[in-house]
Structure 1
Amino acid sequence: MNNEKYTLITGASSGLGKEFAVQCAKMGRNIILIALPGGCTPSLAENLANTYNVDVRIFEFDLTDSQELKKQITLILERFEIDFLINNAGVGGTSLITETSMEKIDQIMQLNVRSTVLITHMLIPHLLQHERSYIMNISSMAAFSPIAYKTVYPASKAFISSFSLGLREELSGTGVSVSVVYPGPIMTNSNTAQRIISQGIKGKMGLLSTAEIASTAIIGTITKYPTIIPGFINKLNHFLMSILPMELKLKMISRAVKKELI
């Protein structure tokens, strides 16, 4: 173990969260992995600990359960010194709003918004105790425009963007630096891959590996960039879309997303 400080990563069992864990372990950072029960988190933790000689701890619970979240985060803070928070956990999907269950809508809001805010709020007093500490919140390129057939997801990611930048300003002058990351398309699982493929060339534009996204995000956060858009194509796309009228942009993006319903 190289130090007594830890990086806390939510949604750490697979996809981008898993890659964050791998890259932080390579840097010699001890890690706390938060994930749902029943996944591959124990084997990931064992592999990282053995390979990189770091301490890896696992906490498996549902972040949408606010009471359990408060209980587990309190326990974590009593036992570990955390100087890097990565709020990665999130969920999305594509469907007609009339065909989306209330449970699914609530899950998106509880996981993407509520859990991120609650964890961040609970950790800030502890992060402020360090000379330097970091918060990385994962938003999405979807945050830059409303999108039909997704509706709640981009709204939740726009919230994360606004929350992160407001918090960054509020904490300016302290040792806590806040960054927000806007990944483009990521093939994290078979469902996501099918949605991206269904959009053809447009869907694959800006597609990066989880390793590339995680590396860009970590470097950007440590160097205190406020906003991080991984990949040149995604940066270019953001610029081009920012100069289009909202109505035109909304129609263009929604038309492409609608193909995911077929």
Structure 2
Amino acid sequence: MQAQQHTPYTLITGASMGIGKAFAGACARKGRNLLLVAFPDGQLEEVQRELLAVFSVSVLIFPVDLTQADAAQRLVRFCEEKKLAIDILINNAGMGAGGLFENIPLEKYLQIIDLNNKAMVSLCHRFLPLLQAQERAYVLNMSSMEATLPLPYKAVYTGSKNFVYAFSLALREEQQPGPVSVTVVCPGPVLTNPEALMRANAHGKRARWVMCSPEEVADLALKGLFRGKAVVVPGRVNQALVRLMKLVPTSLKMRLLERLFRVYRNH
């Protein structure tokens, strides 16, 4: 694919709500054309209508279940047919679950791994040749503070986000000094849906110290992306916590985290 023959687009997964929707708005404000991807439940069409009513950019949508084995391949084919040059890939789609490990169905855990890890790797692998064809291109992978803080009662989600973190940093080094810059974003709690609000309420006032809005996360993530940062941790309190926890012995850190997140035990 020759970059000069195609129109540049930003591809955002999980774009129908929460941080993904905030990314779409933030990119549209920068005049970026958008290809929005999310589960086919009707919400993506509403986001498209909202953006087109406000911004003078192209907004294309591709409703798909990213856990399907051929989803990434179909998405690449769509871009080739529409002559889209993808120069920013934002892998935002993800899901999680909290509770005592054995109390959650195995099928749920496998679904988390399929979306958070397998789909992300597939998209990076399929789109990397298209990104490398650009003069400058970016990959933004959404991880979590929990990638550096293994949380009891969120074992699979934490593990999946640790994979995103490690994968992103390794891929970043492989791509240097080429045209593709890879950034991993590690936000703390974000109010993206009623379940997130319920989890925040369970922690009481201390949750407010580390809470960010989807818009804050998207804006800070994009700033870090375009500056070529390897890791972005939105929020000064969150940044301090990550640095502090690196200094705490693992055994003590895990006991503290178990006590803090025991509220999820019967969630």
Q: TM-score, normalised by structure 1?
A: 0.96
The answer to whether the 8 A contact 2:15-2:37 is kept is yes
What residue number does 1:182 align with? 186
Q: What are structure 1's unaligned runs of at least 5 residues?
A: none
What residue number does 1:172 align with? 176
Cα deviation, residue 93, structure 1: 1.6
Cα deviation, residue 71, structure 1: 2.1
CA distance in 1, matches of 2:31, 2:264: 40
What residue number does 2:163 align with? 159
For 2:23, give the aligned amino acid: F
Cα deviation, residue 221, structure 1: 0.1
Q: 2:206 aligns with which of 189, 202, 208?
A: 202
Cα deviation, residue 146, structure 1: 1.8
Is 1:67 paired with 2:67? Answer: no
Is 1:111 paired with 2:115? Answer: yes
What residue number does 1:33 align with? 36
Secondary structure in 1 aligned to 2:196?
A: helix
CA distance in 2, matches of 1:240, 1:78: 49
Identity of aligned residues (%): 38
Q: What are structure 2's unaligned runs of at least 5 residues?
A: 1-5
The answer to whether the 8 A contact 1:197-1:204 is kept is no
Is 1:247 paired with 2:251? Answer: yes
The answer to whether the 8 A contact 1:63-1:69 is kept is yes
Is 1:91 paired with 2:74? Answer: no
Q: TM-score, normalised by structure 2?
A: 0.94
What residue number does 1:22 align with? 25
What residue number does 1:259 align with? 263
The answer to whether the 8 A contact 1:164-1:179 is kept is yes
The answer to whether the 8 A contact 2:96-2:112 is kept is yes
The answer to whether the 8 A contact 2:99-2:265 is kept is yes
Secondary structure in 1 aligned to 2:70?
A: helix
Cα deviation, residue 165, structure 1: 0.5
Over 3 Å counting, the alpha-carbon distance change for 1:73 and 1:102 in structure 2 is farther
Cα deviation, residue 19, structure 1: 0.2
What residue number does 2:3 align with? none
The answer to whether the 8 A contact 1:136-1:181 is kept is yes
Over aligned residues, Cα RMSD in angstroms?
1.3
Structure 1, residues 143-189: CA drift from partner, whole Å, max 9, x if none?
A: 00222111111111111111000000000010110000000100111
Regions of 4+ moved over 3 Å: none
Is 1:8 paired with 2:27? Answer: no
201-210 or 46-55, larger mean C-alpha shift: 201-210
